[in-house]
């Protein structure tokens, strides 16, 4: 292992080693010093974040091309680390309240994040598959960590069974691509394609299978059916992280693999993406209207948002649009991460010990009983809808702009119209909180409220100066794409 190799995976290595140390320390001291594990977990993520910030501006290929450090991986690493920190904050309050006091929560979270980071910098299909497993398996366990509740166990099993099937699809797809190109290295495949040494048919089969596998991870219709049940059954602080981390990791794989390897067959794939994106936006938003449970509503809303991100990516075959495709997807992921973590943190705050309190009607009167929490929720709902002066607006603006730039005006119009549908159910939350009398209970967990407030301030504040985040996203280039 050379120094370049070491540097390139420093954020991941730090996290893995740190998590292993935590596992030991938790066994020895966890009972006596309950604060130890969460604080250490945050410290580990901060270290990893520092390492990833240190990489900014670097470009490297390590481990014989297995690992790639570029703008894309660095942007995503930061995103994963930051949402991990938020998830730990949410988990600390939540676990104490619902009576899950397991140090494994934090350790598993760290393992999962290390998998996501590895996914962001994958330079080889083998690494893609390994990191997919590394990020998923801890999540399967986390979904069931509240094992005294049936729903949590069910969510875990469902996620595991469907998740392994998706992994099988990915693996099968990798086999096809290997058969077509004779290599699993992403850059090797690119080279083989450009030299015309691949079997077109096998490549198309492989890409379709990969799309199905990644589509599962990002919860795109028709691979979305696990989402509502898993989001609903898992402990809320886990779902908060899952809705951001797993989705971003899925997109990391999708974007990197497709924009590197499959641009040559983009003509065949673009209609597929088009339909996938339109279906995801329509089904996600329309079904969300019918939900009465806030967790399920947010689950369908997260499906819908995957559709919006796919919309940016429909034009990935067009070299002139590709940079904007990637940058707008990254920007949207960041905006979505802040908003989604915020919305789930409000949910964490209102959920009761017995798992009730997450119906939309349970929010009635929250505007009076917990004004700052309710105000934060308004910000998140507006941001999800895409109303100006929230980060969500700029996210959608950039996505729609990219779709229209790529010539997919009809798809953009479909996206805009489904946004209108989404306004209906997001506003319903606001209606409940402010316009209807009720005695919504909110827990006085100070950390959760603090997180919700900070995220709300970021969602609004960054909307005034989005240029900074735009530039960061625009620097999130994939080397060679």
Partner 1 sequence: MNSAINPLLLVTFFPLVGVLLILLLGSTGKNTARWIALLTSLVTFALSLWLLMQFDSTKGGIQMEINLPWLTLGGNTVGFHLGVDGISILMVLLTALLTPIAILSTWKAVEERVSGFMSFFLLLETGMMGVFLSLDMVLFYIFWEFTLVPMYFLIGLWGSQRRVYAAVKFVLYTMAGSLLMLAGILWVGLTYGGFDLTKLTDSAIPFTAQLWLFGAFGLAFAIKVPMWPLHSWLPDAHTEAPTAGSVILAGVLLKMGAYGFLRFNLPLFPQATLTLAPWMAGLAVIGILYGAIVAFRQKDVKRLVAYSSISHLGFVVLGTFALTAQGVQGAILQMVNHGLSTGALFLIVGMLYERRHTRLMADFGGLWRVTPLLGSLTLVTVLSSVGLPGLNGFVGEFTILMGAFHSTILASPWFAVVATLGVILAAVYLLHMFQQVFLGPVRHPENEKLADLSPREVILLAPLLLLAFWIGLYPAPFFRLMSPAVEQLLALIQTVVQTAH
Binding-site size, partner 1 (CB under 8 A): 36
CA–CA separation, 42 and 328 (whole Å): 29
Contact (CB, 8 A) for 118 and 272? no
Nearer to partner 1, 185 or 419 (CB): 419
Q: Residue 451 CB, nearest distance to partner 1 (Å)?
A: 22
Task: Name which position in 307, 445, 466, 476 contacts partner 1 (CB under 8 A).
Answer: 466
Tokens 């006596």 sit on residue: 32
Nearer to partner 1, 249 or 473 (CB): 473
- Kindly write out the interface string for residues 310-349 of this chain, putting x where it contacts partner 1 by CB under 8 A and - elsewhere: -------------xx--xx---------------------
Q: Which helix (H) or strand (E) holds 61?
A: strand 60-62
Nearer to partner 1, 159 or 434 (CB): 434
Other Cβ atoms within 10 Å of 398 Cβ, number: 24
Nearer to partner 1, 236 or 419 (CB): 419
Contact (CB, 8 A) for 83 and 90? no
SS3 185: strand
Nearer to partner 1, 210 or 462 (CB): 462
Q: Residue 362 CB, nearest distance to partner 1 (Å)?
A: 18
CA-based nearest residue to 76, from 45, 49, 46, 108:
49
Contact (CB, 8 A) for 460 and 389? yes
Task: Name which position in 78, 419, 448, 449 contacts partner 1 (CB under 8 A).
Answer: 419
Q: Residue 410 CB, nearest distance to partner 1 (Å)?
A: 10
Q: Hey, which residues between 49 and 108 contact partner 1 (CB under 8 A)? A: none
Task: Name which position in 21, 161, 168, 413 contacts partner 1 (CB under 8 A).
Answer: 413
Nearer to partner 1, 430 or 458 (CB): 430
DSSP 451-469: HHHHHHHHHHHHHHSHHHH
Q: Residue 476 CB, nearest distance to partner 1 (Å)?
A: 13
Contact (CB, 8 A) for 379 and 459? yes
Give the angle 119-452-96 at the CA atoms, nearest 5°: 85
CA–CA separation, 119 and 12 (whole Å): 10
CA–CA separation, 378 and 70 (whole Å): 36
Q: Hey, which residues between 345 and 404 contact partner 1 (CB under 8 A)? A: 382, 387-389, 393, 397-398, 400-402, 404
- CA separation, residue 431 to residues 99, 297, 370, 373, 383 (Å): 32, 15, 15, 15, 16
Nearer to partner 1, 250 or 395 (CB): 395
Q: Which helix (H) or strand (E) holds 441?
A: none
Nearer to partner 1, 155 or 377 (CB): 377
Nearer to partner 1, 376 or 382 (CB): 382
CA-based nearest residue to 342, from 243, 219, 267:
243
Q: Is 424 in the site for partner 1 (CB under 8 A)?
A: yes
- Kindly write out the interface string for residues 147-186 of this chain, putting x where it contacts partner 1 by CB under 8 A and - elsewhere: ----------------------------------------
Question: In terms of C-beta distances under 8 Å and separation of at least 24 residues, what long-range contacts does 285-288 make, across chains too?
Answer: 285/418, 285/419, 285/421, 285/422, 285/425, 286/418, 286/421, 288/422, 288/425
- Kindly write out the interface string for residues 432-461 of this chain, putting x where it contacts partner 1 by CB under 8 A and - elsewhere: --xxx-------------------------
Task: Name which position in 60, 130, 275, 423 contacts partner 1 (CB under 8 A).
Answer: 423
Nearer to partner 1, 124 or 405 (CB): 405
Q: Residue 420 CB, nearest distance to partner 1 (Å)?
A: 5
Contact (CB, 8 A) for 28 and 46? no
Q: What is the DSSP letter of 355?
A: S
Q: Residue 433 CB, nearest distance to partner 1 (Å)?
A: 11
Task: Name which position in 290, 417, 457, 461 contacts partner 1 (CB under 8 A).
Answer: 417
Nearer to partner 1, 38 or 415 (CB): 415
Q: Which range, of 86-94, 98-106, 208-216, 421-429, touches partner 1 by CB under 8 A?
A: 421-429
CA-based nearest residue to 293, from 369, 236, 238:
236
CA-based nearest residue to 158, from 102, 242, 226:
226
User: Rule CB under 8 A: which residues touch partner 1?
Assistant: 323-324, 327-328, 382, 387-389, 393, 397-398, 400-402, 404-405, 409, 412-413, 416-417, 419-420, 423-424, 427, 430-431, 434-436, 465-467, 470, 474
């Amino acid at each position: 292992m050379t120094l370049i190799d070491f540097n390139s995976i420093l954020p991941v290595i730090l996290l893995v080693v740190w998590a292993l140390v935590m596992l030991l320390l938790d066994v020895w001291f966890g009972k006596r010093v309950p604060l130890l594990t969460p604080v250490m977990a945050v410290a580990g993520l901060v270290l990893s974040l520092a390492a990833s910030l240190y990489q900014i501006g670097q470009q490297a290929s390590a481990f014989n091309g297995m690992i790639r450090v570029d703008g894309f991986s660095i942007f995503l690493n930061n995103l994963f680390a930051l949402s991990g920190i938020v998830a730990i904050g949410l988990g600390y309050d939540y676990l104490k309240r619902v009576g899950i006091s397991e140090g494994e929560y934090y350790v598993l979270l760290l393992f999962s994040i290390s998998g996501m980071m590895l996914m962001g910098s994958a330079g080889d299909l083998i690494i893609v598959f390994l990191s997919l497993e590394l990020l998923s398996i801890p999540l399967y366990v986390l979904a069931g960590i509240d094992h005294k509740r049936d729903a949590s166990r069910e969510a875990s099993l469902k996620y595991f069974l469907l998740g392994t099937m998706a992994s099988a699809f990915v693996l099968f797809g990798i086999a096809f691509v290997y058969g077509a190109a004779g290599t699993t290295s992403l850059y090797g495949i690119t080279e083989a394609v450009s030299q015309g040494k691949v079997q077109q048919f096998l490549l198309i089969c492989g890409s379709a299978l990969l799309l199905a596998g990644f589509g599962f991870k990002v919860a795109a219709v028709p691979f979305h059916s696990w989402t509502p049940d898993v989001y609903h059954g898992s402990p809320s602080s886990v779902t908060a992280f899952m809705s951001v981390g797993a989705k971003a990791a899925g997109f990391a794989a999708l974007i990197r693999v497709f924009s590197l390897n499959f641009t040559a067959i983009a003509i065949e794939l673009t209609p597929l993406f088009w339909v996938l994106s339109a279906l995801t936006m329509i089904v996600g938003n329309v079904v969300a209207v019918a939900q009465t449970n806030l967790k399920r509503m947010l689950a369908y809303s997260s499906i819908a948002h995957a559709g919006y991100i796919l919309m940016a990516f429909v034009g990935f075959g067009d070299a002139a649009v590709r940079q904007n495709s990637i940058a707008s997807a990254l920007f949207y992921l960041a905006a979505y991460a802040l908003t989604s973590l915020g919305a789930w943190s409000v949910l964490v705050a209102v959920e009761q010990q017995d798992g009730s309190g997450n119906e939309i009607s349970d929010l009635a009167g929250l505007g009076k009983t917990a004004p700052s929490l309710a105000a934060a929720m308004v910000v998140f709902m507006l941001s999800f809808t895409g109303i100006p002066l929230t980060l969500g607006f700029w996210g959608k603006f950039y996505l729609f702009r990219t779709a229209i730039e790529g010539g997919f005006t009809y798809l953009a119009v479909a996206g805009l119209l489904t946004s209108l549908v989404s306004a209906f159910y997001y506003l319903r939350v606001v209606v409940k909180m402010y316009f209807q009398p009720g005695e919504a209970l909110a827990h006085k967990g100070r950390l959760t409220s603090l997180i919700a407030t900070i995220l709300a301030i970021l969602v609004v504040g960054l909307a005034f100066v989005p240029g900074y985040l735009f530039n960061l996203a625009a620097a999130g280039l994939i080397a060679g794409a």
